[in-house]
Amino acid sequence: MATLSELCREHTTMSEAERDHLQDLTSLWGLLADLSFADLLLYAPKAGEGQTGLVLLGHMRPTTGVTLYRADLVGQTFSPDRRPVVDECLANGVITEGLVQIGADREVSIRAVPVRVDGQVVAVLARERLFSEDRPATVQERTYRRVFRRFADMIDRGDFPYQEEERLRHRTPRVGDGLLLVDAEGHIEFASPNAVSALHRLGMRRAAVGSRLEDTGLEATMLRQAFARRAAVISELDEGREVALVSHCLPLLDGRTATGAIVLVRDVTDLRRRDRQLVSKDTTIREIHHRVKNNLQTISSLLRLQGRRLKSVEARAALEESVRRVAAIAVVHETLAQSPDDDVAFTDLVRPLVRVVEESVSSPERPLSFTVEGEAGVLPSQMTTTLAVVLTELLQNAVDHAYRGATVPESGEPGRVHIVLDRRTDMLLVRVTDDGVGLPEGFNLAESDGLGLTIVRTFVESELGGTITLSPVKKGTGTVAEVRIPSSRLSGPWDDAQEPVA
């Protein structure tokens, strides 16, 4: 379905400022639909050569009543005779009410409100409901509909949406959260049952109606700020761990004068309690990663101490390889300890992993240069450790075999190892290319019994569900190792892995 902006560009000649005004209106019209107990529809006249009729730009259903239209009509065009009340409102530029026959047995009551931008009517907001529902039965319904009419008058004058609207830090408020109607002097004229319950949680036991807003325990300056700015004000009151309330104060304006306000009160105590629990759990998890990293570093130190006591060159080399593998896993836990999320950008891990290998193998007698290219995106933590070990083994394998016995070449240029990360829609490709001596004649990966390649093959095929190939460089000398991991393995348990940002 096309967005409001797309429909405006396709069917109207509205400017960007006019489209933005309609966007601001529809960002809060859920509140208006609840107040009116009716569907709200936004119409605009079609423009252009040979274009006639009214295009429906948006539709909001109420949560306080039953919708009149079950089908989605947004984007459809209506002839003026099907919506004569809306057409009259556009022609005259005044709020218009009337009845329209829809089908054989439904008579719809329509209140059409002109939407103005800089004094010009650019659209019509229509409140539509069955005519039989036009007589509210309760005090609450009558109060809500009076408030809606005050907002409709503000839309007609261009006072709503507010010129300096504070962007909501919370979800768009709805009437069901709890509503207080306040007059220009700050006295509460009406309080919905949910609002009364919220005030009771703040410790207010006397009647809310007739009290001043500042006596309820809500933010005292909220109403004054809303009246002074002639715009909505958002306040959050957090009474320790007992009560947390979010208040949205929307002033009711008559030109430059504030004639009252509505205050929507939402109890978010349970939500804030869950937030605190999540923060506590997140801190605990990060502390665990930090301790695991420290323990792995301790293990590395012990292995190094043990290696210094060994006389066998082969045994010392084996311990050095183990130290590098442990260090690779420690890098992952260090990153997870610093990250606020369970998932990590794998590219951020590659450079520390390269340093682990580079610091252990590069020397003046055998200088090596490592470069990294591309992006791997965000990967779930459960596969990050495995892939980190795989990459470390590939780098170590390239160094050990491609430059075995190598010394500084006459050109003085170091050996080059190039890492490429390529995140695609169907897979992740990790490629390690060196310019060393290349593969031995008759090499077969499946028959290789080296520990490093055995670890890589087992991890890639069993843990990651991918494939690995080793092949000669097409032009020149060297070896290319490619690991391909299918996209189905790149998602966590909640499918939250992400592609890299372009």
**Domain 4-135: CATH architecture, name and number where available:** 2-Layer Sandwich (3.30)
Name the nearest CA neighbour of 395 among 315, 328, 484, 333.
328
Q: Tell how far CA 415 is from the center of its chain.
A: 44
- Model confidence at 93, pLDDT cuts 50, 70, 90, reads very high
Q: What span, in angstroms and rounded, lies between the C-alpha atoms of 163 and 117?
A: 11
Task: Tell me if 4-135 shares its fold with 347-502.
Answer: no
pLDDT per residue over 20-77, tens digit each?
Answer: 999 999 988 999 999 999 999 999 999 866 667 999 999 999 998 889 888 899 999 9
Residue 255 CB burial class (10 angstroms; 0-12, 13-18, ≥19): exposed
Q: What span, in angstroms and rounded, lies between the C-alpha atoms of 8 and 80?
A: 18
The predicted structure's pLDDT at residue 500: 47
**Class (C level, CATH) for 347-502:** alpha beta
- Model confidence at 493, pLDDT cuts 50, 70, 90, reads very low
Q: How many helices (H) and strands (E) does the chain have?
A: 12, 18
SS3 388: helix
Q: What span, in angstroms and rounded, lies between the C-alpha atoms of 405 and 392?
A: 21
Asked if 153 and 13 count as a contact pair (C-beta separation under 8 A), the reply is: no
Is the model more confident about 84 or about 296?
84
The predicted structure's pLDDT at residue 497: 46
Is the model more confident about 417 or about 251?
251
One DSSP character per residue, 87-152 reads HHHHHH-S-EEEEEEETTTEEEEEEEEEEEETTEEEEEEEEEEEGGG-S--SHHHHHHHHHHHHHH
- Model confidence at 12, pLDDT cuts 50, 70, 90, reads very high
SS3 50: coil
- Model confidence at 276, pLDDT cuts 50, 70, 90, reads low
- List, in order, residues 6 or more apart from 153 with CB less than 8 Å away: 95, 254
- Lowest-confidence region among 76-90, 113-127, 389-403: 389-403
The predicted structure's pLDDT at residue 362: 59
The predicted structure's pLDDT at residue 408: 45
Asked if 191 and 199 count as a contact pair (C-beta separation under 8 A), the reply is: yes
The predicted structure's pLDDT at residue 285: 63
The predicted structure's pLDDT at residue 496: 45
pLDDT per residue over 111-168, tens digit each?
Answer: 999 999 988 999 999 999 988 766 667 899 999 999 999 999 999 999 999 876 555 4
The yes-or-no verdict on residue 412 having pLDDT over 60 is no
CB atoms near residue 414 (< 10 Å): 17
Q: What does the domain layout of the chain look like in residue ranges?
A: 4-135, 175-267, 269-340, 347-502
The torsion defined by the Cα of 270, 274, 277 and 282, in degrees rounded to 10, comes to: -160
Asked if 40 and 127 count as a contact pair (C-beta separation under 8 A), the reply is: yes
SS3 81: coil
Per-residue HEC secondary structure of 347-360 comes to HHHHHHHHHHHHHH
- Model confidence at 171, pLDDT cuts 50, 70, 90, reads low
Domain 175-267 has CATH 3.30.450.20: yes
- Measured N-to-C along each axis, helices 381-397 and 451-458 cross at an angle, to the nearest 10 degrees, of 150
- Lowest-confidence region among 56-65, 219-228, 472-481: 472-481
The predicted structure's pLDDT at residue 501: 44
Q: What span, in angstroms and rounded, lies between the C-alpha atoms of 62 and 42?
A: 14
- Model confidence at 172, pLDDT cuts 50, 70, 90, reads low
- Lowest-confidence region among 1-15, 50-64, 92-106, 158-172: 158-172
Asked if 168 and 126 count as a contact pair (C-beta separation under 8 A), the reply is: no
Q: What span, in angstroms and rounded, lies between the C-alpha atoms of 249 and 31?
A: 12
421 strand-pairing partners: 374, 430
Q: What span, in angstroms and rounded, lies between the C-alpha atoms of 307 and 65?
A: 76
SS3 378: strand
The predicted structure's pLDDT at residue 282: 63
Give the Å distances, CA to CA, from 374 to 358, 387, 419, 422, 442.
20, 16, 9, 6, 32
Average pLDDT, the chain: 82
The yes-or-no verdict on residue 252 having pLDDT over 90 is yes
Is the model more confident about 446 or about 360?
446
Q: Report DSSP state, residue 436.
A: S
- Model confidence at 344, pLDDT cuts 50, 70, 90, reads confident
pLDDT per residue over 328-343, tens digit each?
Answer: 777 776 766 666 566 6
CA angle 260, 38, 116 (to 5 degrees): 60
